[in-house]
Structure formats: C-alpha cells, structure tokens
Amino acid sequence: MEFFLDTGIIDEIKEAMHWGIVNGVTTNPTLIAKSGRTQEEVIKEIVTLIDGPISAEVISTDKAGMLKEAESLAKIHDNVVIKLPLTIDGISACKVLSDQGVKTNVTLCFSSNQALLAAKNGATYISPFIGRLDDIGHSGMGLIEEIRTVYDNYGFQTEILAASVRHADHVREASLVGADVATMPLKCMKSLFKHPLTAIGLEQFLKDHQSTLS
C-alpha cells in the first residue's frame, strides 16, 4: 500500500518526507485555503519536495472549464494528477484526459457504481471517502471492499485511494481489504508509528541499559 499525505501545508510535507514512507500528496480546495496561498504556488513547491503523484483539484463544475484548468495544472509537472469530481462533467473530462495520457484522481466517490464509471473512463485513481460515509452511519470500509471486488472482476487498472481517512484503524482496515493507497493527514500518519507496548518496551530497554553502566 502507498501512503499519500493529505495536506496543503508545506511544513507538514517537509516533516514527513524524511520518514521514507510518503509516496505522494493529495490536496483539495479546503486544504489549499488553509495554506493561505494559491494552488499553483503550493503545487509548484510540493513537486520539488516529493517525487510522486501530487493531486491538484479543478474548481470548475463544467467539462470545458475542468479541461482548461487541467491543462494549466498538468503543465506544472509530470507528477501532477488532475483531481475531478464524480459528476457527469467530471467523468466526461476524465475520459478526455485519460485518452491524452493525463493522470486523474476522481474524488467524492460514495458508491461502487460511481467507482465503476470512473474506471470505465480510465481514471488513474478513485477516491472513496470512507470517513464521511462512516459519519452518516454507512460503512466506508464496506465500500472499499465493493470497489475492490468490482475492479478485480473486470481487470480495471484504476487504483483505489482510500480518502477521508480519520485514524489508524482506517489505514489498517483499508490495507486488509485491498486499497492500493491511503491518503491521510499528518496526525494520522504519525499515529501509525505508535503502540503502547512499543513505548513500554523501549523504556524498559533503556532502563536496563543504564543499569549496566552504573
């Protein structure tokens, strides 16, 4: 499984990149807004830090506008992935971009039928929002399982990118059911390292080591 950092904050990327586990970055308009900078400024800096897929989202809601924005974003760097909403216009734009060899990430996916549409039009990634489904009493992880089954049934190459990841258990469960990628906030990624028995064991080892020095 690949790990993407879900952020528009450059300092967070700089902190995590040294761990050796970050494969890419996803952004959205909300995350970019938190940075206080323009999307173009942020993406241009991110591509200098991480050599991997960097998702940048279009703002337009019509196909023509999406394609115009995509053309501009794709020129920033070969690693830029165009993030499109799962709408009729978004899926239509996905087909055009896929045929042109431009990588795409279809976002705001909440059903396996939607994921099927994205795969049929050649999306590079599909982003099911597992946390938001959990919030309304549905099973986000159940959706990941459904999409995995559908894609495996038909040999689709679209990668399942688990999004709206809230905690370490989401990452664990997504890895067990076969998501290709998990994108998560820095806080969540840090939590993957932690276990109380690791901390207790390390404390005991250090204590025992000190006793050999006295």
Q: Tokens 């990118």 map to which residue?
A: 161
Q: Is 155 left (phi over 0), alpha (psi -120 to 50) or beta?
A: left
- In 3D space, the residue among 105, 8, 108 whose CA is nearest the CA of residue 53 turns out to be 105
Pairing of strands 2-6, 104-109: unpaired
- In 3D space, the residue among 11, 19, 12 whose CA is nearest the CA of residue 193 turns out to be 19
- In 3D space, the residue among 141, 162, 126 whose CA is nearest the CA of residue 2 turns out to be 162
| Alpha carbon distance 68, 64 (integer Å) | 6
Number of Cβ within 10 Å of residue 44's Cβ equals: 15
Pairing of strands 54-57, 125-128: unpaired
Q: Which residues belong to the active site?
A: 83
- In 3D space, the residue among 12, 89, 22, 36 whose CA is nearest the CA of residue 58 turns out to be 89
